[in-house]
Amino acid sequence: MGTSLSAPDQDDDFEDLAARTGFSLEQIGNLHKRFKHLTNNQSTLRRENFDSVTDLMWNPIRSEIIEAFFDTRNFQPGGTGSVREITFEEFLIVMSHFRPPELNMTSEQRESLRTKKLRFLFNMYDKDNDGKITLQEYRHVVEELLSRSGTIGKDTAKDIADAAMLEVASITVVHMEPDEFYEGITFEHFVKILKDIEIESKMYVRFLNMDTTTLCK
């Protein structure tokens, strides 16, 4: 499988990583291969390396996704700001946000998994790390989502973002005086409005145990 190139201490690293991120050894092996492929056998990943993933060009939120990999909040507890390059370990930690829930999880474990995933999503929206999603940031997200549709999107994007923000405010902070100002969506509000979507069951990517990366680019 994927560990033919590894020295004995790389195996230990993998074991350590498996213990910390929850991936299995085969999955880590596969992801390591992919990492090597993306970085052309370097040891660190840079933003430019993502240009080789052609399918990503179609993605309207491409820049947010790439930024998420370099955002220290996602792989260091209490980190701020973004870095220029990341190691395999940090890559793996970001990927571990997309692991599916296991069958025998307790409800607390599910809750914590859910919070972790929601935190990741929140960080993607909240770029300036002030702890809340302001109207500007929200508008930016909606505009990006509609960015493939030319001029039709631009006029309505603002409306949609405004309406959505209004809805969040109505649900979370039910009563506001007319001259109060709703600063932005905090993490608690974010959790509240998304409580109907089962994030932990929806936000996952199937990580392969078998080696099929040779079939894909």
Q: Considering only residues 56 through 115, tell me which ones interact with other proteins, judged by CB under 8 A.
A: 56, 58-62, 64-65, 95, 98, 100-101, 103
| CB nearer other proteins, residue 84 or residue 202 | 202
Residue from 37, 46, 47, 140 in contact with other proteins (CB under 8 A): 37
CA atoms within 13 A on the CB side of 103: 0
Compute and round to an integer the Cα radius of gyration of the chain. 20
The encoded tokens of residue 111 equal 């809750």
Dihedral of the alpha carbons of 109, 110, 112, 115, in degrees to the nearest 10: 180
In the bound state with other proteins, the residue whose beta carbon lies nearer, of 12 and 148, is: 148
Confirm if 121 and 189 have CB atoms less than 8 A apart: no
Residue among 43 and 171 whose Cβ is closer to other proteins: 171
The neighbouring-strand residues paired with 82 are 71
Instruction: Sort 122 into a burial class: Cβ within 10 Å, 0-12 / 13-18 / 19+.
Output: buried
Question: Does 124 participate in binding other proteins (rule CB under 8 A)?
Answer: yes
- Closer to other proteins at the Cβ: 13 or 144? 144
User: 126 by DSSP, 3-state: which?
Assistant: coil
Does the footprint of other proteins cover residue 25 (CB under 8 A)?
Answer: no
- Least Å distance, CB 9 to other proteins, is 25
Name beta bridge partners: 86. 45
Binding residues for other proteins, total number by CB under 8 A = 76
Residues 54/64, Cβ–Cβ less than 8 Å: no
Burial of 48: CB neighbours in 10 Å, binned 0-12, 13-18, 19+: exposed
- Taking contact as CB under 8 A, which single stretch among the options 14-22, 71-79, 81-89, 206-214 is the one that binds other proteins? 206-214
Contact with other proteins (CB under 8 A) among 82, 121, 187, 209: 121
Q: Is 176 in the site for other proteins (CB under 8 A)?
A: yes
Query: Which of 3, 13, 36, 38 lies at the binding interface for other proteins (CB under 8 A)?
Result: 38
By CB under 8 A, residue 53 contacts other proteins: yes
CB of 35 to other proteins, least distance (A): 10
